[in-house]
Amino acid sequence: NDRMNIAIDGPAGAGKSTVARKVAEQLGYVYIDTGAMYRAVTLCAQRAGVSAEQPDKLDQLARSLQIEIEPGEHGQSVFINGEEVTSLIRSREVTLQVSHFAANETVREVLGTMQRQLAARKGVVMDGRDIGSHVLPDAELKIFLTASVKERAMRRFREIADSQIITLEQLETEIAERDRLDEQRDISPLVCASDAVVLDSTGMTIDEVIQAIVKLSRTKM
Ligand code: C5P
């Protein structure tokens, strides 16, 4: 068995999910989007009226949730207690709050355990913030994918069909704030693992980034 695990971490909007999904496709691996799991917990908490400042309630909620992920055609489908929430977890409301819930110790413990189980048999490409540094410290290949905050905001801006409702400046502020919260939390913050390969995708196309990672993976096989 020569399958390996690949960790792709980096700040918000660096293109991790697109890149991770395509790399997995090319290698015949399973793609796992860990941000989707934090988003699912956030959606549930919001529905239950539980805030990130209520750790006891949040602990209980995190432990009782049944989160399932399934590889789908456009990445990954996410279910909570049997209900599909794949698009609901992409709302602005969830995006603006998720970093607060992701700072909770129990939430990270529950999801981290799930993530390790999913990667136990190898052959996964997992994207997130703390995969190389914390969840899968033994991953055979670790990538830290980044780009300037301007470039990341611009890419996101182009993606949003309804861009009139939010300005580029606003997007840039929100992305920078999410990075700040993710970098400054106490438990497994966003950090570049010491043995990660840093890829700055500013000025690179998605395909160039994908090919660079696939090429790096070949050197590890
Ligand atoms: O990757 P995505 O932008 O969907 O992640 C949403 C949020 O989930 C991040 O901003 C971060 O707060 C949290 N997250 C995390 N650890 C991960 C993946 C995501 O804390 N491994």
* Reported ipTM: 0.99
State in Å: Cα 129 to ligand 1 middle.
6
- For atom 8 of ligand 1, which residue has the closest CA? 35
**Cβ–Cβ contacts within 10 Å for residue 72, how many?**
12
Neighbours of 176 (CB within 10 A): 16
pLDDT value of residue 158: 87
Q: State if residue 172 touches ligand 1 by the CB under 6 angstroms criterion.
A: no
Token digits for 112?
A: 């981290």
Residue in the structure block whose two tokens are 């043995």: 195
Residues sharing a CB contact under 8 Å with residue 18, sequence separation 6 or more, in sequence order: 206
176: CA distance to ligand 1 center in Å?
A: 13
> Distance from CA of residue 221 to its chain's centroid?
25
**Cα 1 to ligand 1 centroid, rounded to whole Å:** 31
Q: Could you give the C-alpha distances from 82 to 22, 39, 60, 78, in angstroms and in order? A: 27, 16, 19, 9
**Whole-model pTM?**
0.96
Place of tokens 């990954």: 76
Q: Whose CA is nearest to atom 16 of ligand 1?
A: 129
Which residue positions in the chain have pLDDT lower than 70? Answer: 1, 161-163
Note the pLDDT of residue 71.
84
Question: Which pLDDT score, from 0 to 100, does residue 162 have?
Answer: 65
Euclidean distance between CA atoms 25 and 211, whole angstroms: 12
Q: How far is the CA of 24 from the centre of ligand 1 (A)?
A: 19
